[in-house]
Amino acid sequence: MIKNYLKIALKVLGRRKFFTFISLFGISVTLLVLLVATALLDHVFSAQTPEVHADRMLGVYQLTMRGPDDSENSHPGYGFLDRYVRPMAKLPNVERVALVTETRTVVSYLNGRKIQSAMRRADGEFWRVLAFDFVEGEPFTVADNEGGRFVAVISETARERFFGGSPAVGQTIEADGQRFRVVGVVRDVPVLRYASAADLWVPITTAKTSAYKEEWLGAFTALILARNSADLPQIKAEFQSRLRDAEHHLPDPKTFTTLIAGADTLPEGAARIFLPGEQVANPGGRMRAALLALMLGFMLLPTINLVNINLSRILDRASEIGVRRAFGASARTLVGQFLIENLVLTLIGAAIGLVLAAGVLRAFNVSGILPNTHLQLNLRIFADGLGIAVFFGLFSGVYPAWRMSKLHPVEALRGRSA
Amino acid sequence: MTRHLLKLVWNRKRSNALMILEICVSFLVVFGVATLGLFFLDNYRRPLGYQWQSTWNVAIGMGRSDAEPSGDSTAQQATLARLLREVRSLGPVVAAAGSWVLPFEQGGWSSRYQFKGRSLDMDADRATVGFDQAMGLDLVAGRWFEEADAALVEEPIVINRTLARAVYGAEDPVGKRFADERPGERPFRVVGVISDFRKKGELMPNGNFIFHFASMDHPEGKPPRNLLIRVRPGTTVAFEEALVKRMQAVAPEWSFEVRPLAQVRATSFRFLLTPLIVAGTLAFFLLLMVGLGLIGVLWQNLLQRTREIGLRRAAGASRVAVHRQVLLEQLVLTSLGVLLGTLLVVQIPVLDLIGVLSNRVFASGLLFAMITMYLISILCALYPSSLASRVQPAEALRYE
């Protein structure tokens, strides 16, 4: 039966080429946009170098201090993290905890040239929580950080800028008025990996002053690596209880009384940073809701368009439907047939969209709009795209199919419609 | 005629309703993108109030984050004063000053003051002596801050013309008190008026602006984190390096990042325009999709009405008349869609959802969207309608 439907579907599509073209154009462009967006999200949030353990990694990216009149929101400071988060490494289900700053642009001058680099300060554990690809040398260690040694790990791009691509380990670079000895070179990290991307990584203790050690709000992030992804809810709960404890030791208890923060996965962290409004619980759910709303909003117009076209196509086939109904086909059979036809059309459109998306992503990668960003289609995105296409096909097929099943056989046989 | 057309549209209300919905949603999309674009364009045409071409920004990292109240501000003030003296003594420097906020950055500082019960919102900055020269501000009345102002009983302020007009109307604001006194704060007195200071750059609207005085002698308050340095035209990156070295020598525990304001401006433009470009591209493809869809649907509709058209032709209607009928029907549909969209869109000012959109921009956006939708639907109706008008009466009547 299904085979018959498929045959009919293909025949119908071949008969009215202009309509088929219009439908396919709409479907493929819509899916192209959604696929590119999915590739971008996948690129930011999926487990890949250096966040290979993203599935069992949590980060404390934001901290809000609130009081009766005032509220301040920023990255957490080292003082807070050192006292309340770093000791979490002793928990049995936590493998290790790393502290790292957000990036800051630092400037170097080399033979009259100006080099701008994104710099992070990190502790030794940072290199063990994340897995960078070292092309040269190795990371700096916990001892390097504790000893305040002026050593640096640089990216391939930074090596290109400072040394023209020749081996850099053992050489020194100057950045922000300080000199560092290069101990390692890593492959570039895409700028959208907001927990790890930088050009230079140096020990925290090389900061120009030690004022950071007392800060509650500052420029730091804590990365917590769990032993097992199943332990994440437990670790999140533990973090919250430590947060409650920290509220009793606030530096300025008159101004601020409450702390709001979370130990977040990458998408949750992004939701906390980028979504406006109060810092609420369950940022991951809010992020999904926001993305779904965006997707549906974008699909609204293409869907109306496709429904419109589908309706016209159906009415064009009124006499065929009349014959089938006259010979006893139930409304439900007809709806099923039409939905399958529409799905076939959508899947063909999806295939075209996939090919187009591959082309657009290649052009995007070459253009260098986002440095070090290499967007790719993979099986995961393909599956997402397929899901979206099926959803789109059903979504845009239901109303026309219902209208079709409502056609009166006699009227339909006469070639009249609605 | 109109009534007749409406009747024709009503007769096919079910399939037309979808078409009207499609036109309405497309109208909303065009309106959104067009209004954003027109908003930027409208702002871009107005004068900026300062010059950025040969001014550099030095962002100072003082070791502590901005969020933290700093305990040793007196020492920091003193260092900053020495830093400014050092920078001003360098050859290529024309003027240098400190400022809390940085031109072209989108974040910022705003305050609200009461004026005998009426409240006004304004963007604010705290800047040092010499800021007017470093930024090339255009003083229209009074003067900029002087170091001696620190000794005044009242706190001196400089405001922009928009704010002056809002508070004092046609009167001369210089020397007048400003805003109702807040308990525990010094009262304000206006010492100067500038033409404007559009802190967020050319693309964002000009509103009220107030400058407070960042005195180097004043013991309270945090020192500014930005230096703005006007250099002689043609100064190269070599001087940048020398500049950073000199500053590093004065304040070894601070960090310095030098950027020409042109670079800050480019970043800010990219930040604001990227969403517009993405939305515009998407809207273009959506409209293309809608246009093609309309052609298909109209074509199909007309095919179904072959007999009706044939009858009209047989009864003596000319091809032009048939053509006109189809186009007019489409115009009625479009008008209904646009009307529906407009009714939705005017809720925005009625509900007071957006404060920054001027009526002019709003109206132009509406007009642009209307014209676009009419153009699209007429263009899409042309081909199907010419097909319909070519129908031979005999053939059409035979058609069953």
Question: What gap in Å lies between CA B13 and CA B20, rounded to an integer?
Answer: 10
**pLDDT recorded at residue A317:** 75
pLDDT tops 70 at residue A13? yes
Q: Report the pLDDT value the prediction gives residue B68, as an integer from 0 to 100.
A: 47
Instruction: Name every residue whose Cβ is closer than 8 Å to that of residue A276 and which is 6 or more positions away in sequence.
Output: none
pLDDT score of A97 more than 60:
yes
Q: Using CA coordinates, name the residue in chain A closest to B12.
A: A418
Angle, helix A17-45 to helix A283-316, in steps of 10 degrees: 170
Q: Calculate mean pLDDT across residues A54-67.
A: 89
Which range, A90-94, A189-193, A307-311, has the best average confidence (pLDDT)? Answer: A90-94
What's residue B42's pLDDT?
92
The dihedrals phi and psi of A331, each to the nearest 5 degrees, come to: -60, -40
User: Which of A19, A211, A302 has the CB atom closest to B289's CB atom?
Assistant: A302
Please state, for a pLDDT cut of 90, what percent of chain A lies above it: 37
The answer to whether the Cβ–Cβ distance between B255 and A18 falls below 8 Å is no
CB–CB contact A304 B254 (8 Å): no
Q: How many CB atoms are closer than 10 A to CB A244?
A: 10
A323 backbone dihedrals φ, ψ, rounded to 5°: -60, -45
Residue B120: the pLDDT is 87
Query: B297 vs chain A: nearest CA distance in angstroms?
Result: 6
H or E element, residue A220: strand A220-226
Cβ within 8 Å, pair B63-A208: yes
Instruction: From chain A, pick out residues whose CB is under 8 angstroms from the CB of B383.
Output: none
Cβ <8 Å between A104 and B400? no
Contacts with A252 from chain B: Cβ below 8 Å = 69
Write out residues 183-242 of A within 8 Å (CB-CB) of B. Answer: 207-209, 211-212, 215-219
- Report residues of chain B scoring pLDDT below 70: 1, 63-72, 218-221, 350-356, 396-400
Nearest to A353 by CA among A13, A39, A36: A36
Q: Output the average pLDDT for chain A.
A: 86
Rounded Cα distance, A110 and A66, in Å: 45
Running DSSP on this structure, what letter comes out for residue B203? T
Which pLDDT score is estimated for A418? 42
- Please indicate whether, in this complex, the C-beta atoms of A33 and B282 are within 8 angstroms of each other: yes
Measure A44 CA to nearest chain B CA, in Å. Answer: 19
Instruction: Indicate which of B277, B300, B333, B377 best probes the interface with A, i.e. most A CBs within 10 Å of its own CB.
Output: B300
Chain B residues lying within 8 Å of A22, measured CB to CB: 292-293, 295-296
The A residues from 309 to 338 touching B (CB cutoff 8 Å) are 309, 311-313, 315-316
Count Cα neighbours of A57 within 13 Å in the Cβ-side half-sphere. Answer: 26
Nearest to B68 among A21, A217, A309 (CB): A217
* The pLDDT value given to residue A163: 94
Q: Quick one: CA torsion of B246, B251, B254, B258, rounded to 10 degrees?
A: -20
Taking residues A296-315, report their average pLDDT.
86
- Span A266-289, average pLDDT: 75
Report pLDDT for B71.
53
pLDDT of residue A82: 94
Which A residues, 56 through 115, put their C-beta within 8 Å of a C-beta on chain B? Answer: 72, 74-75, 77, 104-107, 109, 112-114
- Helices in A123-210 by DSSP H: which ranges? 126-129, 142-146, 156-163
- B398 contacts chain A (CB < 8 A): no
> Please, which pLDDT band fits residue A99 given cuts at 50, 70 and 90?
very high
A55 min Cα distance to partner chain B (Å): 31
- Interface confidence, given as ipTM, is 0.81
- Closest C-alpha among B26, B13, B8 to residue B290: B26
**A-chain residues near B19 (CB < 8 A):** 308
Please give the helix or strand (H or E) that residue B188 lies within, else none: strand B188-194
Q: Write the CB contacts of B1 (distance below 8 Å, at least 6 apart in sequence).
A: B328
pLDDT in tens, A320-346: 777 887 888 888 888 888 888 888 888
Q: CA-to-CA distance for B149 and B129, rounded, in angstroms? A: 10
10 Å Cβ neighbour count for A16? 17
Give, in order, the Cα–Cα distances in Å from A253 to each of A66, A68, A184, B70, B307: 10, 11, 44, 17, 83
Whether A315 sits inside 8 A of B289 (CB atoms) is: no
Instruction: Report the residue from A77, A112, A308 with minimal CB separation from B65.
Output: A77
Nearest to A308 among B19, B64, B400 (CB): B19
Q: Residue B252: list chain A partners with CB under 8 A.
A: 177, 208
> Cβ–Cβ of A212/B64 closer than 8 Å?
yes
How far away is chain B from the Cα of A19, in angstroms, using its nearest Cα?
6
Name the nearest CA neighbour of A59 among A76, A79, A80. A76
Q: List the structure tokens of A398.
A: 């239901």
Q: Is B266 on the interface with A (CB under 8 A)?
A: no
pLDDT in tens, A361-401: 999 888 877 777 788 888 888 888 888 888 888 878 888 88
Identify the pLDDT of residue B183.
Answer: 77
How far A208 CA lies from chain B's nearest CA (Å)? Answer: 5
Average pLDDT of the segment spanning A89-117? 90
Q: Average the pLDDT over A111-118 and give the result.
A: 88
Give residue for tokens 């006292």: A83
User: Cβ B18–A307 below 8 Å, yes or no?
Assistant: yes
Beta-carbon separation of B68 and A77 below 8 A: yes
* Beta bridge mates, B229: B56, B96
Kindly report the nearest CA distance between residue B61 and chain A, in angstroms: 10
Nearest residue, CB atoms, B257 vs list A21, A106, A217: A106
- From the list B18, B237, B254, the residue facing A114 with the nearest CB is B237
Query: Is residue A415 pLDDT above 60, yes or no?
Result: no
In this predicted structure, what is the pLDDT of residue A214? 83
A64 pLDDT tier (thresholds 50, 70, 90): confident
> A208 vs B255: CB contact, 8 Å cut-off?
yes
